[in-house]
Structure 1
Amino acid sequence: MRTRFGENTFGNCVTLTIDGQETFTLMYEKIFKAKTSILIANYELDPRLRFIRGDSQSSSFINNNLPRSSRGITSEPENINLSPQNYTASPLQDLLFEKTKQGVEVKIIVWQPKLIIRLLPTAHKRGLSGRVGELEPLERLVQHSKIVKNLMVRVDNSAPTFTSGHHEKFIVIDNKIGFCGGLDLSHGKWDTNSHDFDNPLRDLNAEPWHDVHAMVEGPVVTDLTYHFVQRWTFSITKDIDQAKRIKIEPSFENQNSTGDTEVIALRTWKQLNNKDDDNDGSNILSWYAAMFRKAKYSIYIENQFAFQSQLITQLLVKRLQEEQNLKVIVVSPMEPNLPGFISGFVSKESINHVNRNLERLRKAGGSRVNTYCLISQHNAANEKRKQIYIHAKVMIVDDKWITIGSANMDNDGFKNSTEVDLGITSPVLAQQLRVKLWREHLTEEADSSNNSVDLNSFDEGFNAWKTLASDNGTRILRGERIRGHIYYYNFEEMKCPPPYANARGGNKFKLF
């Protein structure tokens, strides 16, 4: 019998998905087959989200070599109705409505920013406008259809600080299947692995978007259910002591353990302030610190707000000094949409924190540390490029340990916001995920010119990144198309031109 959140669990099945097309297709299949319950905790949610678009309107789409545990998940999903006539206009809303009519209980928690934040001029652009308006169509449908008892929505605006929020992005289906990662069920998150410059299947005004997610089956799902129940209770009562007193019920527990993977659930929840979480390693910051202390050979990070935290930066600087063979790649957006919410001093200083800390890492590791961004090239116009927005929160250490979830590497992710991550121990999955990500970023076109590169080797791939980034700098100077997606985040320091007009990257903002 489980007694607390965040125990090491064994026998889990894990499937890792990259970007919206893979992730949402798999989510759709599992939600479609839900029998008893669907629990959703999201930072934002759009009932109009279309899961299935273009080529993914076939259930065979998900059989594309996703990194997955060796047992427990079949490679051939059941045939399900992915009819574009039924599920293109408003599939999330339609899908949940159909499940509630079948008697499935649906509970949704979405964070609502405080009023003062929603009134800021940049709120809509930053995805901080009111959630209530977005959810109104779903709630009207529920009221008119008299299925209130089966579909319940909570909008929670409680947060301990001005910039923090309830930032989790997870789903639990039938207390048996969990999804956890960087993707909200919201506007602008769907994209393909190719991240084309212009893709009519993306949402209106959406940019190329990169993210990573995990599906889990097995005992770790108990933790996701337990955390959701605590959050649901707190959203109603605003009594953190009552949430603390909730125990893991036998009904939460998933006894169907047929996998082979070790997974621990991790979280940040400042209001809960659970000292047990801090001491046993299920605190996200503690897990990151432990991973840095263990690292001997390689660290690969994709993070929206990489190393805004001074503490975590210092820990990695120390490890780079201790382990002279340790190599690090950090991938982050060229133009991060950083917290701070005020388009001025606070936001600019947040970006400067990131840039200063990344510079510290490069100085500590020398040629062993490189920082990159991802760029999308226009198909026809050589001079047209734009960033691929890195929204992923994933870290792979020594091709053995994976961290994946909602937490950014900033003070909110590690301290102030509510977050859920998964810590996965699996050399097989870790290498598979890293190689799949690297193939996407290098692309087949870029890799084809150097077939001798073995991406299973971190060292060979590390050099391939450097070679391609430098080559793309030369190509931009010549007015040519870039190959692949890789470019230096600190392009000025590397004496490369900006990839597009007004690109900032590692350049510091002037505050006044």
Structure 2
Amino acid sequence: MKAILAEGETCWRVEHADRAAVIVDAAGFFKHARSAMLKAERSIFMVGWDFDTRIDLIPGDAKDDAPEKLGDFLNWLSKRRDEIDIRILKWDIGLVNSVTRGETPFYILSWMFSNRIQLKLDGAHPSMSAHHMKLLVIDDRVAFCGGIDMTVGRWDTRDHLEKDKRRRSPMGFEQGPWHDATTCVSGPAAAALGELARTRWELATGEKLEPVDAPSDPWPAGLEVDFHDIEMGIARTQPEYEQQHQSGEIQAAKLAIIKTARKWVYIESQYFASRVIAEAIAERLAEADGPEVVVINPEGAEGWLEAKFMDSARIRLMKLVRDADRHRRFRILYPVNDARTSIYVHAKIMIGDDRVLKLGSANLNNRSMGYDTECDIIIESREDGDAISQRILALRNGLVAEHLGREPSEVEGEIEEHGSLIKAIEALNRTDGRGLVEVPMRELTPDEEMLAESGIADPERPTGVANRMSGYLRRRRYTHA
């Protein structure tokens, strides 16, 4: 089969990673990010949709003298290590979130006018577009890339305990269970992510930064390596804006994974709202011997307005897919914890068979395919049954096991017995306690039908790009093998 990774099509760059790890849920990410930043010698570069200086990175688990809260921690680092350049690039409209939720302006204002820690706002995007990629790069040696924002409401463990006090907001409010994921990589791949961060900085500020040259190894203490010495792809979504050209590598990669899957496509996403992706899934489900497709979503979108648009779009696309699913190979499910409280799914993962893993910031919605800035990493096996293939399967089984409250070995055993991911989930699923629940289908009201197709909240492309890109991407769907 033709390789998924192709520079200029399904990815921006293919780079070598000495080490790569998948980190599931934000308790692990915050802990390992803090560990890596403590090892920084020259540079800490944070790029994201949102940051909240008040969050506790390791609630109640500090074993050193460094502060636990993000703002205090970064100030503590900057005062003790004059040689470290700390830069934060935050989506400009995200500043409104900081003010309205009660975050103290002390850090924001001081960092915006500081040389020690520099905070800049990224407004280099079309109107109402979001700067959505989430990067943390240390010394150009280690980089985190995924779906987790360093902000309020993200911290959680893989247990997703009911009413866990460690999840409380800085204002003391209870926060629900939250599922998320990111990656950590080292080597040239980390340096390439550093280059991408510097490119965003230059677009937003006009300041050109030089690459970082440091002898450090800021790999987080205790972080298990999933992949050694691999080639990995870095894929982007970039909207056309001034001198920036449109890039749709992430959508092309998703379509290629769906088209080439033989047995299973496993997806975790905050939304199911991209018609292009839904149509590609429907085509494969209509095949007599096509793959199973399992989508893990939240029960519903956050907020009243978002739910009106995104949940309506999901129902419409669920109907499209289910109409094509004559062989019953599609499931869309949401996870619940031991108390049957729904777990909000914010992870953005796609796994095709045991062959390819894609993880990053991009959802299954139109914005992530062409209107917002996104960054995903792609790890591809080159040979059936190799070490990469085995680890991709193990990671998928671990994710399914987390949602079912089971052991990965149980998931593996049931898949081997049934030859089906769906049958394995059904065999292990519980009707009480931890498990997965089917997203219900219903009829849309006329108003919801209009919202689902309007594209107001979830545009595909900036004005003038849509027609050019849609024709190209539709051709890619039929020619990629």
**TM-score (normalised: structure 2):** 0.77
| 1:336/1:194 CA distance change after superposition, 3 Å | same
Equivalent AA in structure 2 for residue 296 of structure 1: R
| 1:459/1:372 CA distance change after superposition, 3 Å | farther
Of 171, 175, 189 in structure 2, the residue corresponding to residue 206 of structure 1 is 175
Structure 2 partner of 1:389: 344
Structure 2 partner of 1:336: 301
Give the C-alpha shift of residue 276 in structure 1: 8.8
Does 2:117 align with 1:151? yes
Of 45, 63, 67 in structure 2, the residue corresponding to residue 82 of structure 1 is 63
Structure 2 partner of 1:500: none
Distance 1:507 1:211 in 2: 30
Superposed CA deviations along residues 257-302 of structure 1, whole A, max 9, x for unmatched, are 9942221111111035866955xxxx11111111112111110000
Structure 1 partner of 2:49: 43
Of 89, 106, 109 in structure 2, the residue corresponding to residue 109 of structure 1 is 89
Distance 1:8 1:129 in 2: 36
> Residue 51 of structure 1: SS of its match in structure 2?
coil
Structure 2 partner of 1:432: 394
Tell whether the 8 Å contact from 1:107 to 1:151 is kept in structure 2 after alignment: yes
**Equivalences, count:** 417
Higher alpha-carbon deviation: 165-174 or 366-375: 366-375
Does 2:463 align with 1:464? no
Structure 2 partner of 1:165: 130
Of 19, 27, 30 in structure 2, the residue corresponding to residue 24 of structure 1 is 30
Tell whether the 8 Å contact from 1:12 to 1:259 is kept in structure 2 after alignment: yes
Distance 2:153 2:344 in 1: 11
Structure 2 partner of 1:416: 371
| 1:458/1:303 CA distance change after superposition, 3 Å | farther
Distance 1:507 1:433 in 2: 36
Give the C-alpha shift of residue 309 in structure 1: 1.1
Give the C-alpha shift of residue 251 in structure 1: 4.7
Structure 2 partner of 1:403: 358
| 1:130/1:187 CA distance change after superposition, 3 Å | same
Structure 1 partner of 2:292: 327
Structure 2 partner of 1:9: 15
Give the C-alpha shift of residue 148 in structure 1: 2.6
Of 308, 311, 319 in structure 2, the residue corresponding to residue 348 of structure 1 is 308
Distance 2:204 2:314 in 1: 32
> Residue 189 of structure 1: SS of its match in structure 2?
coil
Give the C-alpha shift of residue 129 in structure 1: 5.6
Tell whether the 8 Å contact from 1:333 to 1:373 is kept in structure 2 after alignment: yes
Does 2:57 align with 1:97? no
| 1:285/1:158 CA distance change after superposition, 3 Å | same
Structure 2 partner of 1:497: none
Structure 2 partner of 1:293: 259
Structure 1 partner of 2:329: 368
Of 183, 186, 189 in structure 2, the residue corresponding to residue 217 of structure 1 is 186
Equivalent AA in structure 2 for residue 350 of structure 1: M
Distance 1:190 1:463 in 2: 32
| 1:390/1:363 CA distance change after superposition, 3 Å | same
> Residue 163 of structure 2: SS of its match in structure 1?
coil
Structure 2 partner of 1:67: none
Tell whether the 8 Å contact from 1:175 to 1:254 is kept in structure 2 after alignment: no
Superposed CA deviations along residues 124-143 of structure 1, whole A, max 9, x for unmatched, are xxxx4648973623246659
Structure 2 partner of 1:230: 199
Give the C-alpha shift of residue 510 in structure 1: 6.1
Tell whether the 8 Å contact from 2:134 to 2:145 is kept in structure 1 after alignment: yes
Unpaired stretches in structure 1, ≥5 consecutive residues: 58-80, 119-127, 238-242, 379-384, 473-481, 494-505
Equivalent AA in structure 1 for residue 12 of structure 2: G
Distance 1:108 1:213 in 2: 18
Distance 2:308 2:415 in 1: 36
> Residue 408 of structure 1: SS of its match in structure 2?
coil
Higher alpha-carbon deviation: 356-365 or 92-101: 356-365
Superposed CA deviations along residues 185-237 of structure 1, whole A, max 9, x for unmatched, are 00010011111121011123211000011001121123211221121112124
Distance 2:411 2:373 in 1: 44
Distance 2:288 2:318 in 1: 18
> Residue 188 of structure 2: SS of its match in structure 1?
coil
Distance 1:485 1:180 in 2: 28
Give the C-alpha shift of residue 463 in structure 1: 1.2
| 1:359/1:173 CA distance change after superposition, 3 Å | same
Tell whether the 8 Å contact from 2:255 to 2:277 is kept in structure 1 after alignment: yes
Distance 1:114 1:176 in 2: 28
The percentage of counterpart residues that share the same residue type is: 25
Unpaired stretches in structure 2, ≥5 consecutive residues: 1-6, 220-226, 381-387, 449-481
**TM-score (normalised: structure 1):** 0.73
Does 2:122 align with 1:186? no
Superposed CA deviations along residues 412-470 of structure 1, whole A, max 9, x for unmatched, are 1011011111111131331121011112111138x89x79934578935421322455x
Tell whether the 8 Å contact from 2:239 to 2:245 is kept in structure 1 after alignment: no
| 1:418/1:129 CA distance change after superposition, 3 Å | same
Superposed CA deviations along residues 15-53 of structure 1, whole A, max 9, x for unmatched, are 111111111111111011111100001111011111112
| 1:507/1:42 CA distance change after superposition, 3 Å | farther
| 1:458/1:398 CA distance change after superposition, 3 Å | farther
| 1:255/1:160 CA distance change after superposition, 3 Å | same
Structure 2 partner of 1:262: 231
Structure 2 partner of 1:498: none
Tell whether the 8 Å contact from 1:211 to 1:392 is kept in structure 2 after alignment: yes
Structure 2 partner of 1:69: none
Tell whether the 8 Å contact from 2:137 to 2:194 is kept in structure 1 after alignment: yes
Give the C-alpha shift of residue 405 in structure 1: 0.7
Tell whether the 8 Å contact from 2:17 to 2:185 is kept in structure 1 after alignment: no
Tell whether the 8 Å contact from 1:24 to 1:51 is kept in structure 2 after alignment: yes
RMSD of equivalent CA atoms: 3.4
Equivalent AA in structure 1 for residue 159 of structure 2: S
Distance 2:215 2:343 in 1: 38
Tell whether the 8 Å contact from 1:113 to 1:130 is kept in structure 2 after alignment: no
Equivalent AA in structure 2 for residue 453 of structure 1: G
